[in-house]
Structure formats: C-alpha cells, structure tokens
Structure 1
Amino acid sequence: MSDPDFAPESSLPYPPLHKGTKFVVLSDWDGTITTLDSNDYMTDNLGMGKAGRRQINLDTLNGELAFRDGFRKLLESVSDNGHTFEECKEILKQNIKLDSGFKVFYRWCKANDIPVIIVSSGMTPIIRAVLSNLVGDEDANDIDIISNDVIIHPDGKWDIKYRHPTSHYGHDKSQAILPYKALPDPPTLFFFGDGVSDMSAAKHADVLFVKTKGDENDLATYCQREGIKHIIFENFGDVLPIVESIVNGEKSVKEILG
C-alpha cells in the first residue's frame, strides 16, 4: 500500500483558516463531537450492518485496506439499499446527539477567541444539517468545517466525493494541520479524534485527545502501536480544564503529555 502522506493532493494543503491566534482547536466530528458516528449509524442500521463495518474498520487499522476504499464501501451499502441522501439526513438529525460537554467547551473557546474547526471524513451537507440541529444555526455557522462532499445521481443514488480522491484517506486530515505548523509563529494545535479516519492527523497535533468508544477504540490502538502521546477522554467536559490550563499558562504541553 502506498504511503498516504505522499498522495498527489497531499502537496496542496489547505491554507490556515485562522492566522495570528495562539491556539487552534481541530476536531473530528463523528463520534467525537457527537456521541454516535453518523456514518456508523447509517451503515449499521441502513446498510451492511455492524459486523461488516467492524471488519472494514479493522482491515483499515491493520493496513490491509485503504480508508478511502473501505469508507466508500460502507456508504455504498446504504445507498444500494435504497436510502436517499435526504432520507439519511433526516434520520441522522433524529438520532445523532451532541457530546454532553461540547457546548460548554465551545462557548469557552469562543469567549477566549480560540477557533474551533471540524475536520471530518464525513460529508459537509450532513454535518451542517446535524450540527445546526444540535447547537442552533448561529453557532453552527461560526464553526468552520473541512470535510468531503456528496454526489447525488439522477437515479437517486448517492456517493461520497472525496477532497483527496487518490489519497489513502480520501480526506487527508493532516493537510488541515500542517499549514499551521509552517507559520512563522505557529499556534498550539489541539486535535480531538476517535477512529481510523483520524490516523493521518494524530502525529501532527501538539496535544492529541482520543475519545473512548466502548469496544471500538481504534485511534487509541493506533497511537499505542505508533508511540504517539495522547490523552484519553470521555466527553469534552473532561478536556476543558486541561485545555484551559495550557491556554492560561498554568501548564506546558510537555507537562500535560508527561
């Protein structure tokens, strides 16, 4: 399998969305800001089912399958079962819930002029719809989203449109982080994630927070295997004091990571 960091699109990282700030929060969406992964929910309930999904996740984690290819299979199983994109959006709005501590965390970041950016392997129209439903249009419109898009075909079937279609990841999340590190005075970067889609970003964050997911701790498994320092958390209420201590200068990143 080719190294995803050397895919052609990886030479074209995103420009930093926020310059002149000392801290930036970047976070995965599905299963991190939300309690359930919307794509997992669709696959488990409308597509191939949990057993098939977990096998694809494990094959990806073990390097046997490109995330891009496995993720496309998951979503295709939903579309192939006759579920339209609009139907899926409505089902997710009814079933996806917000992490219990995220609103307080986000409001603290906003009050302290710390940008919060969603970096997702999901699809922007779904994220926008669910996010607005959970936090309201005003806050939702203030949060930048870097993710994939969707193609809806004339027959009603739909497919994911990847930002980096030849990359192993489909959307190489590291390219949302690396431009900040190249700035003359780079900010401290906090990254939050939980699964295999976050592997490309994990080693580039200054402080990596990994959310626990019961028996599906793929990102934690990856970090342990690769020796990447990280902090385990259950909800954003757990991490606010840690982020606050760094922002306020009470503790350094080195002290936090140990």
Structure 2
Amino acid sequence: MIDTTPPVSTLPYPPLHADKKFVALSDWDGTITNRDSNDYMTDNLGFGPEKRRAGNLAILAGKETFRDAFKVMLDSVVANGHSWEECKEVLKKNIILDVGFRNFYDFCKSKDIPVVIISSGMAPLIRAVLSKLIGDDEAEKIEIIANDVEVREDGSWEIKYRHPSSGFGHDKSQAILPYRALPNPPTTFFFGDGVSGNIFDYSSRVRTVLTLSLPFLDMSAARHADLLFVKQKPGADNDLSAFCRREGIPHVQFEDFNRALDLVKRVVDGNITVKEALEVGTA
C-alpha cells in the first residue's frame, strides 16, 4: 500500500507569503549558480567525479536512495580532512551567480515579490555563497528552504536532512504545495534546471515514483508551479525540459535570468497572462 503521508520536517518552514500577488521560487545549484556546489566539493575535495557518477547511477538503478548516496558523497569531503569553514571558503571562491540573477532579484524586490530558494543542499552553505556574491544584508533577506548542517567542535561536519524519513532528504513539494492550498493563492514562478534530490510527486496527495531519464529532477515544481522556467545549458543534458515535454507540462525554457526577467515583467505588469507566457516557450 502506497504511503500518502507527507514526511515530517525536522526543520521549521518560513511563513507563507499569503498576502502577496506573486512569489518567486527557485532551485539553487545550477539554476541560480553557474555550477552545482555539492558536486564541486565532491569532485575536488571528496572522492572525485568517477565515484560521484557511480553513486548517481546507483540511485538511478534503485540500489541507493538519494538521501544515502548524497550523504556518502559529502562524507567523503569530511573524510579527506576538509573542515566546514574550509568548504565554505572554497565555494565562495569558485561558485558564481547566473549573470542575470541580481537583476531579477532587484526587480522582485522593487515589486514586493518574495524570492525563496528551495534546495537539496545545505542552507548555511548557500547563505555563505550568497553573502559573498550579493552582500550580507541582501543574502539574509532571501528565504532558503533546504537542509541544514551539524558542525562539530573539531571542524568536521555532517548534513542534517530536513526530511530524514524521505529517501530524498528534502521533499521540495512540501514548500510549494501549501501555496496551492491557500484560498487566494499567489501566482508562483519556479526556476529549475532538473538536478534535485526529489522525484516524488504529491499531486492529489498520492506519492508516485516516476520513471525518469535521470533520478534528480525538479519535478515537484514542474507539477505545481503556475509558471515553470526550465534552465537550458549549452552542451549539457537538459532532462527537466525533456521530462516536461514527455509529461505534457507547460514550461518556458531560459538560458539566464536576464532572459526570464523580461517575461516575468510582462506577467507582473499585467501585459500577458500566465497562459500566454507559457505559450512563448522560450525566454
């Protein structure tokens, strides 16, 4: 019998922005940033890209859960003697923002549109990189719904999952579905690139495991966001877009946030509807 009970969160959620007309939600790694920070740590500080890819294949084959395999990847960084503070500094030096994200963020702030990051990574690490890139004050204002970290006195560390009972560590749909349940829900924009630790769909409160070309898709957002933006990366696999086409999920492809911003502006200003925006196809 399929368990339809949402996983219990060990971490609090921020209050819903029930009084807002629009809410912008986005994946972090590879969407707002130029590369996946956890992959970068594993490849350069941990056991390397070959073992990481092997772990990904094990997840795809159903031999490992994302939660367990991801922890093994991160634990390899700690096992190599890299402290939490060192990891933060390495990522602050090597991870950069999408070229248009700051413009997008400034626009949202000017229009009183909350920006919420929903990630399978660790919130303190995301906040540290954001502080380096956009400043401490602005970084503190952006809400981050992600996993946490436990840092020990000796500097070693371990991921603390938001949903430890879930095979994915963090079920992203639990940050999006409450907006759909509001009496007057805001229009939700979601930005994703397809690499995420969640392939559970809670549509109609039934958990369904989907067969996907890759195991890490932002499919909860694909199912539940009003206006879905899927990032296209030249020379990379664009699996979320392929998934959406296969499942008949309307979406807009974008290369960077500057291109997405123009379409978002038109929706926010009332020049086009969400339906018309989705018909554009590519920003």
The answer to whether the 8 Å contact 1:196/1:218 transfers is: no
Residue 18 of structure 2 aligns to a residue whose secondary structure is: coil
The superposition leaves residues 129-179 of structure 1 with CA deviations (integer Å, 9 ceiling, x where unpaired) of 110100011211211111111112455432110011111221111111111
Match of 2:86 in 1: 87
Q: Distance in 2 between matches of 1:46 and 1:155?
A: 18
Q: Distance in 1 between matches of 2:17 and 2:90?
A: 34
TM-score of the aligned structures, taking structure 2 as reference length? 0.82
The answer to whether the 8 Å contact 2:120/2:196 transfers is: no
Match of 1:236 in 2: 257
User: Structure 1 218/44 Cα, relative in aligned 2: closer, same or farther at 3 Å?
Assistant: farther
Q: Which moved more, 1:105-114 or 1:199-208?
A: 199-208
Gaps of 5+ in 1: none
Q: Distance in 2 between matches of 1:64 and 1:228?
A: 29
The answer to whether the 8 Å contact 2:8/2:163 transfers is: yes
Aligned-residue sequence identity (percent) comes to: 62
Q: Which amino acid aligns with 1:256?
A: A
Match of 1:78 in 2: 77
Give the C-alpha shift of residue 117 in structure 1.
0.7
Match of 2:23 in 1: 24
Q: Which amino acid aligns with 1:203?
A: R
Which structure is higher in RCO with an 8 Å CA cutoff and minimum separation 6?
1
Q: Distance in 2 between matches of 1:64 and 1:237?
A: 40
Give the C-alpha shift of residue 224 in structure 1.
3.6
Gaps of 5+ in 2: 198-217
The answer to whether the 8 Å contact 2:98/2:256 transfers is: yes
Match of 1:53 in 2: 52
Give the C-alpha shift of residue 23 in structure 1.
0.5
User: Structure 1 232/54 Cα, relative in aligned 2: closer, same or farther at 3 Å?
Assistant: farther
User: Structure 1 59/162 Cα, relative in aligned 2: closer, same or farther at 3 Å?
Assistant: same
Q: Distance in 2 between matches of 1:61 and 1:112?
A: 41
The answer to whether the 8 Å contact 2:14/2:143 transfers is: no
The superposition leaves residues 34-93 of structure 1 with CA deviations (integer Å, 9 ceiling, x where unpaired) of 111111110111112223323433554566643222221221121122211111001001
Give the C-alpha shift of residue 192 in structure 1.
0.9
TM-score of the aligned structures, taking structure 1 as reference length? 0.89
Q: Distance in 1 between matches of 2:166 and 2:232?
A: 27
The answer to whether the 8 Å contact 2:252/2:278 transfers is: yes
- Give the number of the structure whose residues are more often helix, by fraction: 1
Match of 1:103 in 2: 102
Q: Does 1:206 align with 2:233?
A: no
Residue 241 of structure 2 aligns to a residue whose secondary structure is: helix
Match of 1:135 in 2: 134
- The equivalent position to 1:215 in structure 2, one of 216, 236, 244, is 236
Q: Distance in 2 between matches of 1:15 and 1:132?
A: 20
User: Structure 1 136/253 Cα, relative in aligned 2: closer, same or farther at 3 Å?
Assistant: same
Give the C-alpha shift of residue 104 in structure 1.
0.7
User: Structure 1 225/47 Cα, relative in aligned 2: closer, same or farther at 3 Å?
Assistant: farther
Q: Distance in 1 between matches of 2:228 and 2:64?
A: 24
Q: Which amino acid aligns with 1:151?
A: E
The answer to whether the 8 Å contact 1:61/1:196 transfers is: no
Match of 1:226 in 2: 247
User: Structure 1 222/91 Cα, relative in aligned 2: closer, same or farther at 3 Å?
Assistant: same
Q: Which moved more, 1:170-179 or 1:144-153?
A: 144-153
Give the C-alpha shift of residue 255 in structure 1.
1.6
Give the C-alpha shift of residue 109 in structure 1.
0.6
Q: Which amino acid aligns with 1:150?
A: V
User: Structure 1 22/62 Cα, relative in aligned 2: closer, same or farther at 3 Å?
Assistant: farther
Number of aligned residues: 255
The answer to whether the 8 Å contact 1:25/1:189 transfers is: yes
Q: Distance in 2 between matches of 1:85 and 1:215?
A: 30
Q: Distance in 1 between matches of 2:248 and 2:112?
A: 32
The answer to whether the 8 Å contact 2:13/2:145 transfers is: no
Match of 1:169 in 2: 168
Q: Distance in 2 between matches of 1:61 and 1:219?
A: 15
Q: Which moved more, 1:52-61 or 1:103-112?
A: 52-61
